[in-house]
Structure 1
């Protein structure tokens, strides 16, 4: 039997047929995905005045800090960024807030360098970064970032399902008959 004929018609060896519509749809998705990756390197949108003022490395440092304060591995960076958009917008017109962020990132990096000999962004383990965060926890900078994140992340209906939260219940008559009465571990 001729093996060449057998393998020639095998579905694995067939060349993929790509329609014009499929090509355009795929190209568009790749373009949007690439733009998100390129602009998504920090906590603030890369094209914001606040991101330009604070600098690329500080912007990435803020994102790492946000993820370390509220570490939800299943949450994409976009949710952390969504929370900080109002802060970035305010920092664009509020010099005191911009100074708080700039000086705060500098203090974070100084603490990190004193403990580990490198900037916060380059500290390898989350446990080591938490040590640095605990050292600056009383600062107004830390409290501002933490407070904005807490309200923004946990009040975001878009991610409640990821946390297993069913949302507000008062408009539905409370939690009775919404699955909570079936909990057997209480």
Structure 2
């Protein structure tokens, strides 16, 4: 029995399939396996909100999603990580790619829950400076050895 090849996702931005495809693109561009879906969904939401107000952007995103879904020879959702990366490399010079990448940088990494996941404690002014906030809590570095040039022994 012959199998029917999968068909690409519908590309109207209002469809759940398009939102899911854009989230898959976001995860492929900025892979963090330990992140839940919620930060990616919020970041995708900012892109889709911008497209609601801009007809040209909406058309660009719809076309870009159609392209992403066919460039790899199979729908993007069915590709493994290496094939998804290859698709993104093929389209990285397009306006679609640049727009999505630029919006994802801020849309993904400007979220407090993402800061918590990455161990970022926030900006200096928001916490009254870094002094007393653990600026020196580099527990992932070994203790430095302090050598006194006038003695042959390690001080610390």
Name the TM tier (shorter chain).
Answer: 0.7 to 0.9
| TM-score where L is the length of structure 2 | 0.72
- Tell me, in whole angstroms, the C-alpha distance in 1 between the residues paired with 2:19 and 2:109: 22
Aligned length: 130
2:19–2:44: 8 Å Cα contact kept in structure 1? no
The CA RMSD measured in Å over matched residues stands at 2.1
1:4-153 counterparts in 2 under 5 A? 50-52=13-15, 56-113=16-73, 118-123=74-79, 125-153=80-108
- Richer in helix (by share): 1
TM-score w.r.t. length of structure 1: 0.62
Q: Provide structure 1 residue ranges, at least 5 long, that are not aligned to the other structure.
A: 1-48
Give the Cα separation in 2 of the matches to 1:58 and 1:80: 14
Return the structure number with greater relative CO, CA threshold 8 A, min gap 6: 2
After TM superposition, what 4+ stretches of structure 1 lie above 6 angstroms from structure 2?
A: none
Match in the other structure for 1:155: 110
Closer, same or farther in 2 for the Cα pair 1:153/1:93, shift >3 Å?
A: closer
Deviation, structure 1 residue 74: 2.0
Higher gyration radius (CA): 1
